[in-house]
Amino acid sequence: MQYHPLQATLRQLSDGFTAKKFSSTEVAQEFINKINYLNSTLNCFISVDAERSLAQARAADAMRAAGKAQQLTGVPIAQKDIFCAQGWLTTCGSKMLSNFVSPYDAHVIERFNAAGVVNLGKTNMDEFAMGSSNETSFYGAVRNPWDLARVPGGSSGGSAAAVAARLAPAATGTDTGGSIRQPAAFTGICGLKPTYGVVSRYGMIAFASSLDQGGPMARTADDLGLMLNVMAGFDPRDSTSLQRDAEDYTRDLAKPLTGLRIGLPKEFFGTGASPDVANAVDAAIAHYRKLGCETVEISLPNMALSVPVYYVLAPAEASSNLSRFDGVRYGHRAKDYTDLTDMYEKTRAEGFGAEVKRRILIGAYVLSHGYYDAYYIRAQKLRRLIAQDFTEAFKRCDVIMGPTSPSTAFKIGEKAGDPVQMYLSDIYTIAVNLAGLPGMSIPCGFDSGGLPVGLQIIGNYFAESRMLNVAHQYQLATDWHTRAPKAIGEVTR
């Protein structure tokens, strides 16, 4: 089958390199051209360095010529600007780091470099990953390629929009409360949050350390597996990194789904989701029944507490993690100040945006003397109950399904003035992070306005291969994942 590199999946690109249909240098140049053409419209990328990217592509071509290529050697991907990359501007979407050029590589970047992958650039994101719409970035809002008046979701919205618009075949993201899965749903692509600890957090700028997890974003479940094969792995520099045997996350893709037990939490199918989202998810589950799956009604009784629990714990950890940004060692520093304390105050007032300041204040409050037991300790206890709900549920089912988000992409500015409504965008995703479980989103249809709907698949600990199998078999039988935004998705030379 003939295809243009800009429309190819990671596997198709890899096969194309092997068959010598095109070179990595040619493919990288095609994507750079399209980024140059469309990025001013979509605002997906914060940093692009064509010279550096093409140098990596030439090195990948040399590796292939020497017979030293790995599966993804020469394949270009975009990197969320939360991952430190040596020599690249690494801003985390914040004015605080707008002048920070990283002196080292994150573990994820090291692994992609070792695999010969080409870095197309650093993608836009909510400031310090705090947001559900990609509107809090110091560099401005990212626009959804399906409707430029709408958000792509957050915080990995730049990565999601870049993949959806075919500015990159795949990208990295991070997920603290749904920040891979929700933007994947809003833009009609696939995104996977692995089990906590599977992907190292070393060099990934911290938001909430007990929740943050890096993961892949791509157009197919197959490509997610190929990326996770590179990203996963033990790293002694991260105290939460899990030491496990390497595995091929694509190994189970071809397995039939006959007898698979799908858990349907009654809390996911109440009145929370919009009718269009509910209908698309119901149709997807009906399709799984045709593939031989069984459905089982389950309950996650404490899921309703996940949003308040998250917005106690995540800000508490953020208030600690962000204390390092003080203008002393790196990043933004206020120009005019009278003493050290004044420098701290002015630097942080200038360097942080409104949402980051809000979460630092909340975090400092719940950790303060007199409120620590009432809020932080109680939230930790509830977190344990939420995790136990999933443990009980997986005794009755193999995977859990439901909507990724209660709505499709909303308009830019629609929820910016109401933080609570913004936070509720992640109501179906947050519990997965609190429990440390793997979760993913795949496209399963469109609403009446032509906007993508995401189906969430949740697995038990270390069930990534099984989840990818479940997603892949659905994608063999449907074509939602192949749909591209009109005009934006067309090949541009």
Instruction: Give tens-digit pLDDT for 131-178.
Output: 999 999 999 999 999 999 999 999 999 999 999 999 999 999 999 999
Which residues, 6 or more positions from 31, have their beta carbon under 8 angstroms from its beta carbon?
A: 5, 6, 76, 120, 167, 168, 169
At 420 the pLDDT is: 84
DSSP assigned state of 242: -
- Among candidate residues 23, 34, 80, 132, the one labeled active-site is 80
- DSSP code string of 30-43: HHHHHHHHHHHHH-
Picking from 140-144, 383-387, 422-426, which range would have the lowest pLDDT averaged per residue?
Answer: 422-426
At 492 the pLDDT is: 42
pLDDT at 44 over 80: yes
If you average pLDDT over every residue of the chain, what do you get? 96
pLDDT at 437 over 90: yes
At 488 the pLDDT is: 66
- Among candidate residues 24, 102, 133, 155, the one labeled active-site is 155
**Chain centroid to CA 271: how far?**
26
* Residue from 158, 203, 154, 219 nearest 180 by CA: 154
At 454 the pLDDT is: 98
Number of helices (H) and strands (E), helices first, in the chain? 15, 11
DSSP assigned state of 191: E
Query: CATH number of 5-262+395-482: 3.30.360.10, 3.30.70.20, 3.90.1300.10, 3.30.70.270?
Result: 3.90.1300.10
Q: How far apart are CA 402 and CA 199, in angstroms?
A: 25
What are the residue ranges spanned by the domains of the chain? 5-262+395-482
Average pLDDT over residues 26-38: 97
**Chain centroid to CA 404: how far?**
13
At 416 the pLDDT is: 87
Q: HEC profile for 306-346?
A: HHHHHHHHHHHHHHHHHHHCCCCCCCCCCCCCCCHHHHHHH
- DSSP code string of 347-389: HHHHHS-HHHHHHHHHHHHHTSTTTIIIIIIHHHHHHHHHHHH
**Using 50, 70 and 90 to split pLDDT, how confident is the model at 360?**
very high
At 394 the pLDDT is: 98
pLDDT at 192 over 80: yes
At 73 the pLDDT is: 98
Average pLDDT over residues 117-142: 97
At 2 the pLDDT is: 62
At 242 the pLDDT is: 97
pLDDT at 18 over 60: yes
pTM: 0.96
Picking from 9-23, 164-178, 264-278, 429-443, which range would have the lowest pLDDT averaged per residue?
Answer: 264-278
Pairing of strands 399-403, 45-47: unpaired
Q: Catalytic residue at 415? A: no
pLDDT at 1 over 70: no
Please give the single-letter amino acid code of residue 330: Y
Residue 47: CB atoms within 10 A of its CB come to 19
**CA-based radius of gyration for the chain:** 21
pLDDT at 53 over 70: yes
**Using 50, 70 and 90 to split pLDDT, how confident is the model at 487?**
low
At 63 the pLDDT is: 97
Q: Catalytic residue at 137? A: no
Handedness of CA 286, 406, 228, 116 (dihedral sign): positive
At 490 the pLDDT is: 53
Average pLDDT over residues 332-346: 96
pLDDT at 491 over 70: no
Task: Copy the structure tokens of residue 212.
Answer: 């943050």
Q: How far apart are CA 378 and CA 309, in angstroms?
A: 9
Average pLDDT over residues 195-213: 98
- Among candidate residues 179, 200, 306, 319, the one labeled active-site is 179
Q: Catalytic residue at 80? A: yes
Q: Beta-strand (E) ranges in 106-248?
A: 118-123, 170-174, 190-193, 214-218
Query: What order of strands is seen across the sheet that includes strand 170-174?
Result: 45-47, 118-123, 76-80, 170-174, 214-218, 190-193, 439-446, 452-459, 399-403, 261-265, 294-298
pLDDT at 493 over 60: no
**Chain centroid to CA 200: how far?**
15
Task: Copy the structure tokens of residue 308.
Answer: 């308040």
Model confidence over 235-294: pLDDT tens digits? 999 999 999 999 999 999 999 999 999 999 999 997 789 999 999 999 999 999 999 999
